[in-house]
Amino acid sequence: MRNARSDESKAGVAGQGGAIVTQDHAAVQPLHATTSGQLRHGALEVASIAIRSDAQGRLCLNDLHRAAGGQTKHRPSTWLQNQQTRELIRELVADGASRNSVTPLATVNDGHNNGSYVVRELVYAYAMWISPAFHLRVIRAYDAMVAQPVAAVPALPRTYKEALLALIAAEDEKEALAAQVQVLEPKAQFHDAVSGAVNDQTVQEVAKVLGTGQNRLFAFLRDEGLLMHDNLPYQRHVDAGHFRVVERTFADRRGERHTYTRTLVTGKGLTLIQKRLAAQAAAAYPLGLSRKTRHGPTTGLHGA
Residue 286's pLDDT is what? 58
- Helix runs in the chain, H state only: 7-10, 61-67, 76-80, 83-99, 120-130, 132-147, 160-199, 203-210, 214-223, 235-239, 267-284
Tell me, what DSSP letter sits at residue 246? E
Of 242, 241, 246, 250, nearest to 262 by C-alpha is 246
Question: Which distant-in-sequence residues (6+ apart) come within 8 Å of 131 by Cβ?
Answer: 68
Q: What is the per-residue burial (b if ≥16 Cβ within 10 Å, else e) of 109-141?
A: eeeebbbbbbbeebbebbbebbeeebbebbeeb
DSSP SS3 for 248: strand
Q: How far is CA 195 from CA 9, 204, 270, 297, in A?
A: 75, 18, 13, 39
CA 198 to chain centroid = 36
List pLDDT tens digits, range 117-129. Answer: 999 999 999 999 9
Question: Which distant-in-sequence residues (6+ apart) come within 8 Å of 303 by Cβ?
Answer: 216, 297
List pLDDT tens digits, range 169-181. Answer: 888 888 888 888 7
Contact predicate 110/46, CB 8 Å:
no
Residue 251's pLDDT is what? 82
Residue 189's pLDDT is what? 59
Backbone angles phi, psi at 168, to 5 degrees: -65, -45
β-bridge mates for residue 29, sequence order: 20
- On average, the pLDDT of the chain sits at 76
List pLDDT tens digits, range 52-100. Answer: 988 888 999 999 999 999 999 999 999 999 999 999 999 988 887 657 6
β-bridge mates for residue 227, sequence order: 233
Residue 7's pLDDT is what? 42
DSSP SS3 for 30: strand
Output the pTM of the full model.
Answer: 0.41
Domains in the chain: boundaries: 4-147, 201-284
Spatial distance between the Cα atoms of 242 and 6, rounded to a whole number of angstroms: 74
Spatial distance between the Cα atoms of 145 and 104, rounded to a whole number of angstroms: 20
Listed as ranges, residues in the chain with pLDDT below 50 are 1-42, 193-195, 197-198, 287-299, 304
